[in-house]
Structure 1
Amino acid sequence: MSSAPNAKALGHIRVLDLSRVLAGPWCSQNLADLGADVIKIERPGTGDDTRAWGPPYAKDPLGKDTSEAAYYLAANRGKRSVTVDISKPEGQAIIRELAKQSDVVLENYKVGQLKRYGLDYESLKAVKPDLVYCSVTGFGQDGPYAHRAGYDFLIQGMGGLMSVTGERDDLPGGGPQKAGVALCDLMTGMYSTIAILAALTHRDRTGEGQYIDMALLDVQVAMLANMGSNYLHSGKAPKRWGNAHPNIVPYQTFACSDGYIIVATGNDGQYVKFVEAGGRPELAADPRFVTNPLRVQNRDVLVPMLAEMVLTKTRDEWIDLLEAVGVPCGPINDIGEVYQNPQVKAREMVVDVPHPVAGSMKLVRSPMRLSATPADASVAPPMLGQHTDAILRDLLGHSDADIATLRERGIL
């Protein structure tokens, strides 16, 4: 193990993070939240691409923009930043030194790129035999697409998500739609986190490290969930249903007199309570609608009647009525409303953390709630190269003169 255990769940783990943008950094941020020492390797001068993906940027105490893009801040809390030019032999040597002191290496370079630098799994395994090494790519390390660049938007389309996301083709606005966040990147980061933790558990039991091959397309296919299963068991490709559900009715959005509401009746009893609350009990007794399979079969008849019913009341009136009788429902909040939600506030999902330039900044805390080893979101994402000198000096034993020489030569 790389360091003495502490009170954090992964306080004994060091992660050498060669990834950038979102999927890899999302994974390493999870590990940092759980206490791992994550050393983020960045290009001298520019760093992670997302540092420049603004506006918006964090603001300093005077309200002026800093150099810290909000996109970068979303995926890099709790890490330490070291700038190293890995295209140069001296930089590669530093990475090998750091790998020797680490438990995990995480990277998202194109297939074969790090092998040219002697930083692939086999090369680093030679200096750290029990290393856990995780590669994140668009299509994986083998197969006909392995050398293609993979981007979340492309994978959402290629992997089927956009075929089931968006309004129905026969309705206004119908057509494929990507998710509002880079869902495939984020899920790949989550799956990578799980795979790394599994590999570390295996290492702790056996002393054996291993290689992890994570692909965005694999993740997208896996996360089709019931949609993928529907196809495998019917032979029919699912279609887009907009905000409706292919297998449950009513399970969708409805327009109220002043906005929209989500109604999610998961069983026949909830459906009965819904229509009774709306003053239409005859819709519960109608033989066309008494069971969910019948409601699915007759959705084109039922849904317009439900839509007319819902329009008679305001959003808040419906929420009060349906919550009182146990029918799942809720508003469609914009993100500003999300952060004002009393439940979000009660769960303290937003935290203020100190920052060397901004003074303080707001971050979203980890949703992982562990009673004995709580996740920690109290350390702001690092400035570019903020920890270079300290890590080279304290962890690798370089002198101040060595560090100054490396910086003068453009290695750091």
Structure 2
Amino acid sequence: MGALSNLRVIDLTQVLAGPYCTMLLADMGADVVKIERPGGDLIRSNPPFVDDADEEAYGGYFQSVNRGKRSLELDFNDEDDRDDFLSLVEEADIVVENYRAGTMEKYDLGYETLSEHNPELIYSSIRGFGDPRTGETHRQGQPSFDLIAQALGGVMEITGHEDGPPTKVGPGIGDLFTATLNCIGILAAVNHREQTGEGQYVDTAMYDAMLSMTERAIYQHSYTGEAPSRRGNSHPTLFPYDAFETADGYAVIAAFGTNHWREVCEAMDRPDLATEYPDAADRLEHREQLREEIAAWAEGIETETLVDTLEGRVPVAPVQSTDEIFEDPHVRDRKMLVPVEQPGADETVEIAGSPIKMTETPPEPGRRAPLLDEHREELLKDGELEPADPETAADD
């Protein structure tokens, strides 16, 4: 039984941000019921597939963030389906949705309506620009995706090389970080309800989340009056803290402490640099010259040699490819690759595991994502929300 096995979540979300939030809850034991529009979540058909997209129920995108959930297909334009939805809400703890502001109200299924049916309900939304209930803005109602959030929130402006264009971060952090914050808000609301019996509205905006993530740029601008911009892989106030090209790849070195700096100088056989630049302020002032010294040393040796030379003495690591991540024993030891069934392919695939580790109630991300409408009979049996059976809920 997971830490959240007492919670029932009605999941109205699709694509990435909302499903990732509810996936975190499902991994920790919550019974997550994914309510899907007619035809299902928009990303069910997104690649990659193991072999045949026509035979497989969904691609890797959907599998990765919808594992461990139950599926029910409902059409909110249909009165009977709306009634079925309300019957589920009455027995639920949490509703999560990531529509544009005002969408649920069009079906008379907004927070105020649902809380009348279940006064202790926690209603949570993830939107590009938040909800008027928690702070009205002219941007609400506009569509938003990860790229939009990264652009507006300052992430792209401070990502990339100094002489290059603004660059998005590879993973969809506009979705994923927002989803994680929303999950924290939901759990805080659950704790509040335990103390007071009150439900409430939880709202997290992608723009707001990105601004929170770029906290360094915010305080730098406030303190100095200057707008930070791109610095490549370096740090604005710490040195050395950068990626360096080696003979066969790249390695990162974070040696901004004086003790670490001495170790780097020793490895480079340059004790003169440790003597000439003993203070962090000196090293920061002469960072360009010193970066060239380290770069010249690094490019003459292989990544493995560089890492082996400094590891244990200086924070250092190779820049790994995904192939190398799959081969790293740490990843297996920490159960960060999880095998799941791929319906229609007759084999298993691997998805990212849960980074949340707990000694008594460890998260269990091992059940595959549901087929569309797979759990209709068990969910609507006798008009009540039946509990999930962890042994059979995701079986064919």
The TM-score with structure 1 as length reference comes to 0.89
The structure 2 residue matched to 1:13, chosen from 7, 12, 16, is 7
Matches within 5 A, 1:181-196: 181-196=171-186
Give the superposed CA RMSD: 1.7
Matches within 5 A, 1:113-152: 113-141=103-131, 142-152=136-146
State the alpha-carbon separation in 2 of the partners of residues 397 and 278 from structure 1.
Answer: 65
CA deviation map 1:118-170 (0-9, x unaligned): 1100000000000000011100112111121111101101110001100112x
| Structure 1 residue 308 corresponds to structure 2 residue 296 | yes
Stretches of structure 1 lacking an aligned partner (at least 5 in a row): 1-6, 399-412
State the alpha-carbon separation in 1 of the partners of residues 26 and 51 from structure 2.
Answer: 24
The structure 2 residue matched to 1:156, chosen from 140, 150, 155, is 150
User: In 2 relative to 1, CA 309–132 (structure 1 residues): closer, same or farther, beyond 3 Å?
Assistant: same
CA deviation map 1:55-105 (0-9, x unaligned): x11458xx9961311111111011001000112222211111111110000
| Structure 1 residue 205 corresponds to structure 2 residue 205 | no
Q: What is the Cα deviation at residue 226 of structure 1? A: 2.0
CA deviation map 1:189-234 (0-9, x unaligned): 1001000000001111110000012110111111112222222221
Equivalence for 2:253 = 263
Equivalence for 1:408 = none
The structure 2 residue matched to 1:108, chosen from 56, 79, 98, is 98
Match of 1:211, SS state, is strand
Match of 1:50, SS state, is coil
Matches within 5 A, 1:250-399: 250-286=240-276, 289-324=277-312, 326-354=313-341, 356-359=343-346, 360-393=348-381, 396=384
Equivalence for 1:175 = 165
CA deviation map 1:377-396 (0-9, x unaligned): 12111111111122112552
State the alpha-carbon separation in 2 of the partners of residues 376 and 306 from structure 1.
Answer: 44
State the alpha-carbon separation in 1 of the partners of residues 364 and 339 from structure 2.
Answer: 12
Moved over 4 A (4+): none
Give % identity: 36
What amino acid does structure 2 have at the position aligned with 1:57? F
State the alpha-carbon separation in 2 of the partners of residues 8 and 66 from structure 1.
Answer: 30
Match of 2:167, SS state, is coil
State the alpha-carbon separation in 1 of the partners of residues 385 and 339 from structure 2.
Answer: 34
Aligned positions, number: 381
Q: What is the Cα deviation at residue 266 of structure 1? A: 3.3
Match of 1:38, SS state, is strand
State the alpha-carbon separation in 1 of the partners of residues 303 and 54 from structure 2.
Answer: 39
What amino acid does structure 1 have at the position aligned with 2:253? V
Match of 1:15, SS state, is strand
Match of 1:115, SS state, is helix
- Larger mean CA deviation between 180-189 and 228-237 belongs to 228-237
State the alpha-carbon separation in 2 of the partners of residues 126 and 227 from structure 1.
Answer: 43
Equivalence for 1:92 = 82
**Would you say the 8 A contact 2:26–2:68 is kept in 1?**
yes
CA deviation map 1:252-271 (0-9, x unaligned): 01111222111111311101
